[in-house]
């Protein structure tokens, strides 16, 4: 792996508690070590006590009993790489208080904010793909980025994950959607949020990282810090295509990356 960056982190690993990932946390750790990662963070889908999207997330009772317990065991292995315990929290309008309640009740190292639903349309799942044919993509992209901006303004999250996820299945508006992304990055800068550069788009029909590489130089100019994530749902996906991620962030002029511990952000110099 090309190592222009001196610290390499993968902060977006899932566990099988979300019912759609495979492998034990220890297997992810082994893979991370093989790939030369310095730090990894698990960020499984946050349970929502009201039962929201229960098919893709753990039960609230499993958060302490299984998630923290298992990951603490992994942390104790040998400290190489360092293991952090994060969470991927879905932003859903109207559920802010429920989210805030769960987030404040557990000692997460960081919280990834993300949007996977527009109304009740789960636009990332394969089951929802037919809907792309039925909807107006200008509208869909406008609504999606409005939700991401709303999420950013809640102050609930440390990092915004897979910023332009709505492009996953490669359905696009007739007009450019770049201005929606620019506005979203401006809000992130205003609210001092970190941007996740996520390689999972390279495994999806769109075949492009999140956010698209063309947005990274604006993020850099706005002073938005970054972190890296593979969105691994199996151990073999840890550090997926990180050579391409690293090339894209370096191309945009980034020379620092963020680490998180107990929700405190640290920027580490890359050279
Ligand atoms: Zn996600
Ligand atoms: Zn994820």
How many Cα atoms within 13 Å fall on the side-chain side of residue 182?
8
Length reported for the chain: 271
Ligand located closest to 124 CA: 1
Structural element, H or E, at residue 113: strand 110-114
> Which is higher by pLDDT, 51 or 103?
103
Contact assessment for residue 259 and residue 9, using Cβ atoms and an 8 Å cutoff: yes
| Cα-to-centroid distance, 88 and ligand 1 (Å) | 7
| Cα-to-centroid distance, 12 and ligand 2 (Å) | 6
Structure confidence at residue 5 (pLDDT)? 58
How many Cα atoms within 13 Å fall on the side-chain side of residue 247?
8
Max Cα-Cα span within the chain: 51
CB atoms within 10 A of CB 57: 21
Q: What average pLDDT score do residues 70-75 get?
A: 93
Q: Is residue 4 part of a domain?
A: no
| Cα-to-centroid distance, 116 and ligand 1 (Å) | 7
Provide the domain count of the chain. 1
Q: Is residue 1 part of a domain?
A: no
The CA-CA-CA angle for residues 162, 168, 171, to 5°, reads 135
CATH (domain of 134) = 3.20.20.140
The DSSP code sequence of 186-204 is HHHHHTT-EEEEEGGGGGS
* % pLDDT > 90, the chain: 81
Structure confidence at residue 4 (pLDDT)? 53
pTM of the entire structure?
0.94
Q: What is the pLDDT of residues 80-133, one digit of tens each?
A: 899 999 999 999 999 999 999 999 999 999 999 999 999 999 999 988 999 999
Distances, alpha carbon 37 to alpha carbons 29, 243, 250, 264, in Å:
9, 12, 17, 21
Written as six digits, the tokens of 33 are: 């070590």
Q: Is residue 80 part of a domain?
A: yes
CA-CA distance, 157 to 154, in Å (whole number)?
8
Structure confidence at residue 60 (pLDDT)? 87
Q: Is residue 218 part of a domain?
A: yes
Structure confidence at residue 103 (pLDDT)? 95
Q: What is the pLDDT of residues 164-219, one digit of tens each?
A: 999 999 999 999 999 999 999 999 999 999 999 999 999 999 999 999 999 999 99
Residue 144 has pLDDT above 90, yes or no: yes
Residue 271 has pLDDT above 70, yes or no: no
| Cα-to-centroid distance, 209 and ligand 1 (Å) | 13
Left if phi > 0, otherwise alpha if psi is -120 to 50, otherwise beta: which for 145?
A: alpha
Q: Is residue 108 part of a domain?
A: yes
Q: Is residue 2 part of a domain?
A: no
Q: For residue 41, give the nearest of 234, 230, 265 by alpha carbon.
A: 230
What is the torsional sign of CA 12, 13, 19, 20? positive
- Segment 173-179 long-range contacts (CB within 8 Å, at least 24 positions apart): 173/137, 173/138, 173/140, 173/141, 174/137, 174/138, 175/138, 177/141, 177/145, 178/214, 178/215
Q: What average pLDDT score do residues 15-36 get?
A: 89
| Cα-to-centroid distance, 124 and ligand 1 (Å) | 8
Ligand located closest to 18 CA: 2
Contact assessment for residue 231 and residue 199, using Cβ atoms and an 8 Å cutoff: yes
Give the pairing of strands 159-160 and 110-114. parallel
Q: What average pLDDT score do residues 25-32 get?
A: 93
Domain coverage including residue 235: 9-269
| Cα-to-centroid distance, 182 and ligand 2 (Å) | 23
Whole-number average pLDDT of the chain: 93
């Amino acid at each position: 792996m090309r190592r222009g960056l001196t610290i390499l982190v993968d902060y977006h690993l899932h566990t099988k508690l979300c019912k759609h990932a495979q492998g034990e946390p220890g297997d992810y750790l082994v893979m991370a070590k093989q790939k030369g990662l310095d730090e990894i963070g698990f960020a499984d889908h946050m349970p929502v006590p009201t039962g929201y999207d229960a098919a893709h997330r753990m039960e609230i009772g499993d958060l302490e009993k299984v998630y923290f317990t298992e990951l603490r065991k992994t942390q104790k292995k040998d400290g190489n790489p360092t293991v952090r315990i994060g969470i991927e929290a879905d932003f859903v309008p109207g559920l802010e208080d429920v989210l805030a309640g769960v987030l404040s009740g557990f000692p997460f190292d960081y919280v990834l904010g993300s949007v996977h639903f527009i109304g009740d349309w789960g636009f990332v799942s394969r089951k929802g793909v037919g809907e792309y044919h039925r909807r107006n993509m200008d509208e869909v992209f406008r609504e999606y980025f409005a939700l991401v901006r709303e999420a950013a303004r809640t102050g609930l999250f440390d990092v915004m994950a897979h910023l332009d996820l709505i492009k996953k299945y490669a359905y696009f508006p007739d007009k450019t959607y770049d201005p929606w992304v620019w506005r979203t990055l401006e809000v992130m800068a205003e609210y001092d949020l970190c941007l996740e550069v996520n390689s999972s788009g390279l495994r999806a029909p769109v075949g492009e990282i999140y956010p698209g590489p063309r947005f990274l130089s604006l993020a850099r100019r706005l002073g938005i810090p970054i972190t890296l994530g593979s969105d691994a749902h199996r151990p073999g996906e840890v550090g997926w295509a990180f050579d391409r991620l690293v090339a894209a962030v370096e191309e945009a002029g980034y020379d620092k990356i963020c680490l998180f511990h107990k929700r405190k952000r640290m920027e580490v110099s890359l050279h």
